[in-house]
Chain A
């Protein structure tokens, strides 16, 4: 039974409950960084990385520090500080150990602090009452789902760039409408069930 719960979490994170296209969280980077496939891949990897680590750290801190001390109301303020500190730390570590990865992630790393997807996932795993392994798997899959949506979107936008678009629709409006159509397609996955 435990395994089937995990499979449900995986499928939900990537397809049926995709964070961008079904929950509409994390739309700013989804629209901002989806102009080129290369940067979309970089952003996707960086976000997946941060979401996974941040959710696990937030989970541990919530259940071993905040909950025993009955400080649950500090959840928001603690989580955002953890995420900001973590992003800063990753920035330093990656710069030191892997300059090439640092080059490819570049600006996106710093932008992740204000990505709702990270805080949203950290909050979600607490609300859903997951255990540590489930938290890890869920966060990883949410990140992968985000990457998938971002790469698909960037592929389409590269094509739209060269096609004829009416003037008021240039740029973001057409991107939003494309996102809407993609989300409709993803809504079709809702029938998938593994329980």
Chain B
């Protein structure tokens, strides 16, 4: 009897907290399907009496969000590819290919982790202005090219590849390029997916840097466009909710599909510390 009561309270509490947590997302979907002006009444409706897709239509036809969706998609994809290219090779080099100074460089990089990215943002803006990358999509990509955290995430996983395996390949006459591409990379597949998901979500959700570097509406990413839209269209809650769905849905789906990889990345990053 006592365990029944305890089980009931534990699961009841979980169900209640989950319902409260998911409610704002549920309301976002629901309100995005309401005809314009019908969500701002009292009592506030929970779901649309006459569901419609007109907000989504408005979003693409008049608010120009289709273009912004492509901007976000392009930036997040390019950031993912480039950061894989840069960080994975550096992570492998630091783990297995000792070169002069590699130890001290790693110490400097770890030290750099305490400096918040915002310190670099103001001069970075000036540098990009000088080389003509302000108000361009490549300018948004710059901070995503290489990252200390990603390099160490990879390094930690490469460390689990046995040295004997690499030595055996060398004895068989394999070159360093072949070892990296044919022996090491295939073994790293899970961590590559983890890194890709992290970078894609990070670049897609990023706000401050694109807000700083972009000043032309048609180049905006979805979060920047949504923030500026929400300042102009405060009254159009249904339209704004459709915009929020367009922004949130892709990353939410990506997370649900690749959840295992995402959580694994968090664990190695955090628990081993």
Indicate whether A and B interact.
no
Mark A residues whose CB is within 8 Å of B: none
Interface residues of chain B, those whose CB is within 8 Å of chain A, are none
